[in-house]
Structure 1
Amino acid sequence: MGVTTINIRLNDEDKKIFNEICNELGLNMSTAFNMFVKSMIRTGGLPFEVKINNFNAETIKALEETNDILTGKISRPVYKTTKELFEALDKED
């Protein structure tokens, strides 16, 4: 099996940090990239989740609380009218 050379562009700071991490793990950068390639081949895709997370911590907490309410982990009062709701909200202040 032959060996080929590829060139990868990184900014200087990323390369420096990547190299330091590799050294701490007892690897060189070439070995780390080979591990990445083998993992992609084995999994048929990137070996990690790639996603865009546009939610801040407060939004994530609110979504989790909503899910807990919907699944019954947290119970919340039910109001029959908006008047009842606003009266309850006024009591919270």
Structure 2
Amino acid sequence: MAQATFSVRMDESLKKQFDGLCQEFGMNSSTAINVFARAVVRQRKIPFEISSPETTISREGAMQAFAALRAEAKANGVSDMSTDDINKEIELARREAKA
């Protein structure tokens, strides 16, 4: 699949906060934006809310949040990403983080 660059301007403080929260979720900001874009296109609306009830998210908390998102995706009929698709996104995010 061909890749394209998407550039967004935002307040520096907001970017740092966003990057930190994405890291707590186990992804980089690029992967988070890709997840968001795919969901918006699939559902043709802003389909979900991502929130962090805690300042620091534990692994258990992250897994609970992930399980809740999976349940919401299933309930909304958008759980069509295969494990291979998800793993490719994770691998891409890890390569980008190392670069």
TM-score by length of 2: 0.46
Greater Cα radius of gyration, structure 1 or 2: 1
TM-score by length of 1: 0.49
